[in-house]
Amino acid sequence: MPLRSDWSARTCSLARGLDVLGDPWGSLVLREIFFGNGRYEAMKQRLEVADNVLSKRLGWLLEAGLLAQRPYRDGARTRQEYVLTPKGEDALPVLNAIIIWAEKHLDAPNEVSHMKVIHTDCGEATMSADTCTHCGTRLTAANTSWHSFKRSDHPLPLAVAPLENRTPASPETEIPV
């Protein structure tokens, strides 16, 4: 029995978008990838999620083209870690919007439960998902940090799609030098 409905063929853009980004576990997996936590065991531990749930969500995100796999060495073994693709990186404003909305409208259970979206270039928290409300710059994974009070005393830079996953002819996906 499927865990959810397939809305990928719907005419409504919101329904099609929710088909990929509307699953809570999928969004939490993306959060971990943006935080640079792309190794399976580390994600499993951080999310406190069952193997079957994590494997299924990673499979969906790979199939949808938001993530790619990259090999790494773990002692004598070669394993795969998950990294963003440009398509996955483009999901950042959606996750930013959820963070900003939750901070504004939902009570946090304690002080370490707070999270802020920071425009790294000017150092200010923003109340917009795609543009810094302080200086007006468009937010990207390369110029945005998340300050998760539970993870760190300072904002953490976000992961970006590796160069090998980028299209050279697409300037909006290039990493600034």
**176: exposed, middle or buried (Cβ count in 10 Å: 0-12, 13-18, 19+):** exposed
**132: exposed, middle or buried (Cβ count in 10 Å: 0-12, 13-18, 19+):** buried
Residue 67 pairs in a beta bridge with: 84
Query: What is the value of pTM for the model shown?
Result: 0.86
Domain ranges of the chain: 13-87, 91-157
Structure tokens at 169: 């002819």
> Class of the 13-87 domain?
mainly alpha
Q: Hey, how many other C-beta atoms are within 10 angstroms of the C-beta on 82?
A: 22
- Looking at residue 125, the DSSP 8-state letter turns out to be E
Sequence-distant (≥ 6) Cβ neighbours of residue 78 within 8 angstroms: 71, 72
What is the model's pLDDT at position 51?
A: 97
CA atoms within 13 A on the CB side of 59: 6
What is the model's pLDDT at position 29?
A: 98
Q: What is the residue-level pLDDT of the chain in tens, covering all 177 positions?
A: 344 677 667 689 998 888 889 999 999 999 999 999 999 999 999 999 999 999 999 999 999 999 999 999 888 999 999 999 999 999 999 999 999 999 999 999 988 899 999 999 999 999 999 999 999 999 999 999 999 999 999 999 999 999 776 554 444 433 332
Structure tokens at 127: 């109340």
Q: Do 59 and 109 touch, CB atoms closer than 8 A?
A: no
